[in-house]
Amino acid sequence: MYKKIIVPIEIGSIEKGEKIFRKAAELLDNGGEIILLNVVEDIPTYVAIELPGNIIEDAMKESRERLGGLVAKTGIPAAVEVRNGSPATAIIAAAEERRADLIIIASHIPDIYNYFIGATADRVVRHAKCSVLVDR
């Protein structure tokens, strides 16, 4: 069905990530590609002053390791990519750069500010140029 699928995974919710990763494998064409993506958010400067200088690099390294572990655990072949920045912006940029035809994103139970889906999923749905499947 799809040739290239971006699967953004929040490392703190790796179980949800595994669920959508398996769904991506079911929707993938033969010879297609899945890209597991994690985005490490920037830390505001006023907070970063109090933290170790390599905190972002360490978080990115941990993300690569955890996503690699997910690939090993499931046995589903996938590329692993870790970016830094705003999650929605980075997800959309990855999809455009990789010419993805689907993004599968997990959504948490929303609060009053984003009643239907979570904030990141909402932004991705609104601005992505490819199809987006939101899993709850």
pLDDT in tens, 101-122: 999 999 866 555 545 556 889 8
Tokens 């932004």 -> residue: 123
Cα separation, 91 vs 82, in Å, equals 10
Going from N- to C-terminal start, the domains of the chain cover 2-135
* CA pair distance 129, 110, nearest whole angstrom: 23
Helix axes 14-27, 55-74, angle to 10 degrees: 50
Per-residue pLDDT tens for 39-93?
998 776 666 566 676 888 899 999 999 999 999 999 999 999 999 999 999 999 9
State the CATH class of domain 2-135.
alpha beta
Q: What is the pTM of this model?
A: 0.88
What whole-number distance in Å separates Cα of residue 90 and Cα of residue 110? 21
